[in-house]
């Protein structure tokens, strides 16, 4: 469908067709509204960052029965040797509080956490399937798995399958998607938002609706906005996902008086292959990421370590590592592992398109690490290997306390010596995932103005919303937040549209 063909009496227009948008559209439709989706990308590149995700999905659960409702196949596993643990509301609050340095909006956080399991059931109802995250969030130690990091299940097939399934649900609900239709500005009447101005194949169109949902992602794909809001050198970062999240949603909401909130100079950014393309490549998905650094060391161009690689499980540190790499000379780093660690490395370390070096000695490796001072690197390895350690066993399933002491930056867990060749090294830079600053919304996902009143007819969900993430992020929160607030936004928009009939 093209903009010319859209019903001028449509109830709800949803901008974007990622996870947040499609859940908003489904919720609006199920609330009785007629709905259309606008997508800036062509069909072949649709669904934004959601299509790139690995499928981590963070929700509360009390026991295995809660997981079995989502992933019945768990019943076929050797359950006596798998400890799924629990992930309670309190643990979720603690994680978000600690990671955001207690800045996350308390009301939105409450809505997110208390609806997180419901969100999993909702997507499952729409055909999305879950699987236990064995090997990713639990390692096999002497035949037993113990889960860590709050994530027991992933979405089966990751973002590709998630978005495919949601598109099928959207199509079955009779919701049209208008591709290559980029939203540019909001149409504002005397007392409410009345529609949206879009560009389609070089022509502008004004589309009317009774309510609107903005779910068009962050501004991470816009280097000008990255430099302006995140700061120097962020324009040089690689983008992990879509090229279409260029911040139009933020700009058009600002223009109608929406309040902005959250960590505008903050973003989610990870260690990402230094030779990855400028934007994400959907055939690789999330596999340019390199998340197993807790089991090795990371060095910069001086050959020096610059973070505590073992501060916590990667789920709680990976999203701030990109910023740490971006601050290094040349904006790159190398992760180094020995053979004790290589068996723990995830599939993302075994893709063919990878910046990798292997050597039998550190002397040999030191000259292979492009851009790194070999002498500095050899000094760092020697100091790291000679640093005193407690006499305890390495265990990747717990914060094992196997730490160094006496170093300028100590490694506080999993600090095995690097002494079993061949040594493997992986070149990384900063890959930005999404930005943290965004629109201020109510607990019902209505966009607020600077006086705190709801802007009539305007709702928002997904990464365009600000206030949830500051400084850091717990893996698997973005998709859940998109479902929770997407549903609320869709229901709110539908309610308002019905009132305007």
Ligand X SMILES: Cc1cc2nc3c(=O)[nH]c(=O)nc-3n(C[C@H](O)[C@H](O)[C@H](O)COP(=O)(O)OP(=O)(O)OC[C@H]3O[C@@H](n4cnc5c(N)ncnc54)[C@H](O)[C@@H]3O)c2cc1C
Kindly write out the interface string for residues 263-302 of this chain, putting x where it contacts ligand X by CB under 6 A and - elsewhere: -----------------x-----x----------------
459 near 493, Cβ under 8 Å? yes
Rule CB under 6 A: is residue 49 a binding residue for ligand X? yes
- Chain positions 147 to 206 lying near ligand X, rule: CB under 6 A, are 182-183
**Strands in 360-483 per DSSP E:** 423-435, 438-439, 446-448, 454-460
Q: What is the DSSP string of 140-207?
A: EETTEEE--TT--EEETTHHHHHHHHHHHHHHHTT--EETTEEEEEEEE-SSSEEEEEEEETTEEEEE
Q: Identify any residues that bridge with 472 across adjacent strands, giving them in sequence order.
A: 470
Rule CB under 6 A: is residue 241 a binding residue for ligand X? yes
Quick one: 147 or 244, whose CB is closer to ligand X? 244
Shortest separation between residue 438's beta carbon and ligand X, angstroms:
10
Alpha helices in 234-361 (DSSP H): 248-255, 318-326, 339-342
Burial of 85 (0-12, 13-18, 19+ CB in 10 A): middle
Please tell me the count of residues contacting ligand X according to CB under 6 A. 44
Strands 297-299 and 332-337: antiparallel
Shortest separation between residue 74's beta carbon and ligand X, angstroms:
19
78 near 85, Cβ under 8 Å? no
Choose which of 262, 454, 466, 476 interacts with ligand X (CB under 6 A). Answer: 476
Rule CB under 6 A: is residue 457 a binding residue for ligand X? no
Kindly write out the interface string for residues 244-263 of this chain, putting x where it contacts ligand X by CB under 6 A and - elsewhere: xx--xx--------------
Alpha helices in 31-81 (DSSP H): 64-70
d(CA 490, CA 122): 14
The helix/strand/coil state of 247 is: coil
Shortest separation between residue 290's beta carbon and ligand X, angstroms:
12
From the list 200-208, 212-220, 223-231, 385-393, the region that binds ligand X by CB under 6 A is 212-220
Shortest separation between residue 268's beta carbon and ligand X, angstroms:
7
From the list 14-22, 312-320, 356-364, 492-500, the region that binds ligand X by CB under 6 A is 14-22
Shortest separation between residue 34's beta carbon and ligand X, angstroms:
19
Shortest separation between residue 49's beta carbon and ligand X, angstroms:
3
Rule CB under 6 A: is residue 14 a binding residue for ligand X? no
Rule CB under 6 A: is residue 335 a binding residue for ligand X? no
Quick one: 13 or 369, whose CB is closer to ligand X? 13
- Please give the structure tokens belonging to residue 153: 């299940």
Q: Which of 269, 305, 312, 192 is nearest to 429 (CA)?
A: 269
How many helices (H) and strands (E) are present in the chain, helices listed first?
A: 13, 22
Choose which of 21, 27, 341, 489 interacts with ligand X (CB under 6 A). Answer: 21
d(CA 268, CA 69): 31
Rule CB under 6 A: is residue 478 a binding residue for ligand X? yes
Q: Which of 221, 226, 224, 217 is nearest to 183 (CA)?
A: 217
Rule CB under 6 A: is residue 222 a binding residue for ligand X? no
Kindly write out the interface string for residues 54-73 of this chain, putting x where it contacts ligand X by CB under 6 A and - elsewhere: xxx-----------------
317 near 412, Cβ under 8 Å? no
Shortest separation between residue 50's beta carbon and ligand X, angstroms:
3
Choose which of 18, 150, 176, 457 interacts with ligand X (CB under 6 A). Answer: 18
Kindly write out the interface string for residues 303-332 of this chain, putting x where it contacts ligand X by CB under 6 A and - elsewhere: ------------------------------
- Chain positions 405 to 434 lying near ligand X, rule: CB under 6 A, are 433-434
Choose which of 31, 34, 47, 355 interacts with ligand X (CB under 6 A). Answer: 47
Strands 356-359 and 423-435: antiparallel
Rule CB under 6 A: is residue 342 a binding residue for ligand X? no
d(CA 325, CA 313): 18
Choose which of 17, 70, 237, 369 interacts with ligand X (CB under 6 A). Answer: 17
From the list 1-9, 76-84, 164-172, 214-222, the region that binds ligand X by CB under 6 A is 214-222
Rule CB under 6 A: is residue 38 a binding residue for ligand X? yes
Choose which of 64, 152, 216, 259 interacts with ligand X (CB under 6 A). Answer: 216
212: which residues sit within 8 A by CB, 6+ positions away? Answer: 12, 13, 14, 15, 186, 193, 195, 196, 457, 458, 459, 493
Q: How far apart are the first and last CA of the chain?
A: 24
Rule CB under 6 A: is residue 20 a binding residue for ligand X? yes
464 near 218, Cβ under 8 Å? yes
Rule CB under 6 A: is residue 40 a binding residue for ligand X? yes
Binding residues vs ligand X (CB under 6 A): 15-21, 38-41, 46-50, 52-56, 182-183, 215-217, 240-242, 244-245, 248-249, 280, 286, 433-434, 462-463, 476-479, 482
């Amino acid at each position: 469908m093209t903009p010319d063909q859209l019903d001028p009496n449509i109830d709800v227009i949803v901008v974007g067709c990622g996870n947040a948008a499609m859940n908003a559209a489904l919720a609006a439709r199920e609330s009785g509204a007629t709905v259309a989706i606008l997508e800036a990308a062509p069909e072949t590149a649709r669904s934004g960052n959601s299509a790139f995700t690995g499928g981590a999905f963070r929700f509360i659960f009390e026991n295995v029965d809660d997981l079995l409702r989502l992933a019945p196949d768990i019943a076929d596993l050797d359950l006596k040797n798998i400890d799924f643990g629990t992930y309670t509301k309190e643990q979720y609050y603690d994680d978000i509080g600690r990671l955001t340095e207690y800045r996350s909006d308390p009301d939105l956080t409450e809505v997110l956490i208390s609806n997180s399991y419901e969100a999993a059931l909702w997507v499952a109802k729409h055909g999305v399937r879950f699987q236990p995250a064995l090997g990713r969030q639990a390692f096999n130690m002497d035949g037993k798995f113990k889960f860590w990091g709050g994530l027991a299940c992933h979405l089966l097939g990751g973002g590709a399958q998630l978005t495919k399934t949601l598109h099928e649900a959207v199509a079955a609900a009779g919701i049209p998607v208008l591709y290559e239709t980029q939203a540019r500005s909001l149409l504002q009447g005397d007392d409410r938002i009345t529609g949206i101005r879009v560009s389609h194949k070089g022509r502008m169109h004004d589309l009317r609706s009774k309510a609107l949902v903005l779910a068009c992602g962050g501004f991470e794909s816009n280097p000008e906005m990255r430099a302006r809001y995140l700061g120097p050198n962020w324009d040089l970062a690689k983008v992990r996902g879509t090229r279409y999240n260029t911040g139009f949603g933020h700009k058009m909401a600002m223009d109608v008086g929406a309040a902005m909130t959250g960590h505008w100079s903050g973003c989610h950014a990870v260690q990402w292959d230094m030779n990855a393309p400028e934007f994400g490549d959907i055939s690789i998905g999330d596999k340019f990421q390199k998340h197993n650094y807790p089991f090795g060391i990371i060095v910069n161009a001086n050959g020096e370590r610059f973070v505590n690689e073992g501060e916590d499980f990667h789920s709680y540190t990976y999203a701030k590592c990109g910023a740490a790499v971006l601050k290094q000379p040349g904006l790159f780093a190398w992760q180094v592992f020995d053979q004790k660690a290589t068996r723990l490395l995830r599939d993302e370390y075994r893709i063919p398109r990878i910046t990798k070096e292997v050597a039998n000695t550190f002397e040999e490796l030191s000259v292979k690490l492009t851009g790194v001072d070999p002498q500095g690197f050899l000094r760092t390895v020697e100091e790291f290997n000679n640093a005193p350690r407690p006499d305890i066993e390495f265990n990747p399933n717990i914060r094992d306390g196997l730490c160094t002491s006496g170093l300028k930056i100590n490694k506080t867990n999993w600090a095995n010596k690097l002494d079993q060749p061949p040594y493997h090294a992986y070149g990384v830079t900063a890959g930005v995932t999404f930005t943290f600053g965004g629109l201020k919304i109510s607990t019902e996902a209505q966009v607020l103005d600077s006086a705190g009143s709801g802007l009539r007819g305007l709702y928002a969900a997904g990464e365009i919303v600000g206030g949830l993430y500051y400084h850091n992020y717990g893996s698997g929160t973005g998709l859940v937040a998109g479902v929770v607030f997407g549903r609320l936004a869709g229901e709110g928009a539908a309610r308002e549209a019905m009132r305007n009939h």
